[in-house]
Amino acid sequence: MRQKKLLRRPVDEEKGAKAVGTPERSDRPRVLVVDDSEMVRNFHSYILRDAGFEVQTAADGAQALEEYFKGAFDLIVTDINMPQMDGLTFIRRVRNVDQNIPIIIISTEDEAEDKQQGYDAGANIYIVKPTRPSVLIESIKLLIEK
């Protein structure tokens, strides 16, 4: 299957090159992983890197928002309960500027109301922790492949 390319950087149409000031971009899909637990961030990052993704991490929603605006990402994986800015607020802020980026919530919150709040905020998929690597990878493939 072919992976969908989601470019968020300006391109010089005439030359087909990236615009001045745009950071280098690998061909691997870029994922922003957001969780206040370093162990969980490292676990999800390991799974994704092993599957061929480029990964950037953030410890909370506020840091994630800064990273989001610095880089071009193809997908976001976020927790809900975090300091500074929770995951639902982070998702809403991203959705204010980008309706298309796929977002996966991975949370310990398992109630139907929690899941509905996640979907209402703009998440595409909601996974309950602990995360099985195969479920995470298959969910991502579902969202970014044509």
Contact predicate 81/101, CB 8 Å? no
DSSP three-state, residue 107? strand
114: nearest Cα among 76, 84, 87: 87
Give the H or E element holding residue 17: strand 17-18
pLDDT tens by residue, the chain, 146 residues: 334 444 333 333 343 333 334 445 568 999 999 999 999 999 999 999 999 999 999 999 999 999 999 989 999 999 999 999 999 999 999 999 999 999 999 999 999 999 999 999 999 999 999 999 999 999 999 999 74
Give this prediction's pTM: 0.82
Query: In the CATH scheme, what is the code of domain 26-144?
Result: 3.40.50.2300
Q: Is 76 exposed, middle or buried (0-12, 13-18, 19+ CB in 10 A)?
A: buried
Bridge partners (DSSP) of residue 127 are 106
47: nearest Cα among 63, 24, 31, 64: 31
